[in-house]
Amino acid sequence: MAADSRAAVDAPDDGRASLPTEPPPGDAGGAHPFELENEPVDLAGTSPEAWLSLGLFWLLGATVAYQFVTRYVFNDSAGWTEEIARYLLVGTVFVGASVGVLRNNHIQVDFLYRHLPSRVGRVLSLGVDVLRVLFFACLVVLMGQMMARIGDHAMTVVPLPMNVVYAVCELGFLAMTWRSAALAWTHYRRGYSRLERPDEP
């Protein structure tokens, strides 16, 4: 013990702090104190509109990549890519919105329900579900009327009818109407919605 103390005193002081040579307790060989494990990917519950939205998104990415290559590599940009990319983005949004309705992830304000009696909150929650179904149903009707008025009107660059784009939007509205009606029925059967109990699914 005395020899160790003398060695520490006799050691030259070069202004550098000494570093520990042994790992601290609980650290086996400098390994991370905890390990992260990835959860297994389960795609069994993926809805059809989610797959469709993903497919449109990949087509959008491929179109933008093709536009980038033709513009900045070959210096000869393909004129149709900008229009098609815009329409693919529209389709991705409208079809993907149905996934938000299915998962009940759209923006909602539940502050008022925390300060209302449970019976009043229940009535308001049912009213919100009914209004949501009616809103999407009205959008389905309006989109159908718009498609009827447009008729065979073609796109600006690509010789395709504009109703191809609006048909995808109509499909998204139909899916949102169906999903919102199913969600309203689920809320009615179990007796509450996320507005009333935001901490529960």
Cα–Cα distance measured from residue 182 to residue 165, given in angstroms and rounded to the nearest whole number: 26
pTM: 0.73
* Residues near 172 by beta carbon (within 8 Å), at least 6 away in sequence: 49, 91, 94, 95, 96, 97, 98
Residue 27 is predicted with a pLDDT of 52
Residue 154 pairs in a beta bridge with 161
pLDDT per residue as tens, the chain (201 positions)? 444 544 444 545 555 555 555 555 555 555 556 667 777 777 777 888 899 999 999 999 999 999 999 988 888 888 888 999 999 999 999 999 999 898 888 777 777 777 778 888 888 889 989 999 999 999 999 999 999 998 888 888 888 899 999 999 999 999 999 999 999 998 888 887 877 776 666
**Residue 28 DSSP label:** G
The upper half-sphere exposure of residue 151, i.e. CA atoms within 13 Å in the direction of its Cβ, equals: 3
Cα–Cα distance measured from residue 84 to residue 50, given in angstroms and rounded to the nearest whole number: 20
Residue 163, sorted as left (phi over 0), alpha (psi -120 to 50) or beta, turns out to be alpha
Q: How does 131-152 read in b/e, with b if 16+ C-beta sit within 10 Å?
A: ebbeebbebbeebeeebeeeee
Residue 54 is predicted with a pLDDT of 92
